[in-house]
Chain A
Amino acid sequence: DAGITQSPRHKVTETGTPVTLRCHQTENHRYMYWYRQDPGHGLRLIHYSYGVKDTDKGEVSDGYSVSRSKTEDFLLTLESATSSQTSVYFCAISEQSSNQPQHFGDGTRLSIL
């Protein structure tokens, strides 16, 4: 299995608080992705990174920011969490883009009350 660790695995917080999710990889892959998974919507891309300090938006980026200061770490931040951001968040990595498969972490279940 690809070495991907997401932390925390579960989190409950209140509306308006900041939240940071961490994705750590040991594979030295260039690409890293953050998705959210919601019933009836499948996986939707939030942000992705194609190198250190190189990031781009996905289809549901509003309300989220990311940072990648090291190859191995990709952080997802909710500056002021809202109940609509309650979801399961997945990190994925890929050695190259497009034709290479993505390897997924086990997810973070985030509940915002």
Chain B
Amino acid sequence: AQSVTQLGSHVSVSEGALVLLRCNYSSSVPPYLFWYVQYPNQGLQLLLKYTTGATLVKGINGFEAEFKKSETSFHLTKPSAHMSDAAEYFCAVSSNRDDKIIFGKGTRLHILP
């Protein structure tokens, strides 16, 4: 079975500081990995995804994530936080053997002025 663990249900960073949201996954087969963002009263939007190929994946709004198989991690980063980045972020895992995506419990990102 696959699973996702997001470390920290709440993360606070200052505006302009590095954003680092942690995600570790468990999968017995090669994983497909996703990061989604959810703004208040909205559905989830895809930030980026990893399926195969380059392990450093660039997404929208300046975010990127790196797939590290040896560490079973897919952490999300952004060099400089902006107030508009305040939202909830979800990591998710799937594989080519499953019709479903498993979501983590989410990390709420707070941006301090």
Binding site for B on A (CB under 8 A): 4, 31, 33, 35, 40-45, 48, 50, 56, 58, 90, 92, 97-99, 101-107
Contacts and interface: CB of A to CB of B under 8 A. Distances in A.
Contact of A101 (B46, B97, B98, B106): B46
Given A90-B43, A101-B34, A106-B42, A43 B99 contact: no
Contact of B94 (A35, A99, A106): A99
A42 B97 CA distance: 23
Contacts of B98: 97-98
A98 to B, nearest CB: 5
B58 interface: no
A68 to B, nearest CB: 14
B90 A99 contact: no
A106 B45 CA distance: 10
B96 interface: yes
Interface of B: 9, 32, 34, 41-46, 49, 51, 90, 94-101, 103-106
Looking at chain A's contact residues, the main secondary structure is strand
B4 to A, nearest CB: 9
A102 B46 CA distance: 8
Contacts of A33: 100
B32 A40 contact: no
A58 B106 CA distance: 19
Given A33-B100, A102-B101, 12 more contacts: A4-B43, A40-B9, A43-B103, A48-B100, A98-B32, A99-B32, A99-B49, A99-B94, A101-B46, A101-B49, A104-B43, A107-B43
Contacts of B42: 106-107
Contacts of B106: 42
22 contacts: A31-B99, A42-B103, A42-B105, A42-B106, A43-B90, A48-B100, A50-B99, A56-B99, A92-B43, A97-B94, A97-B98, A97-B100, A98-B94, A98-B95, A98-B98, A98-B99, A99-B49, A101-B34, A101-B46, A105-B43, A106-B43, A107-B41
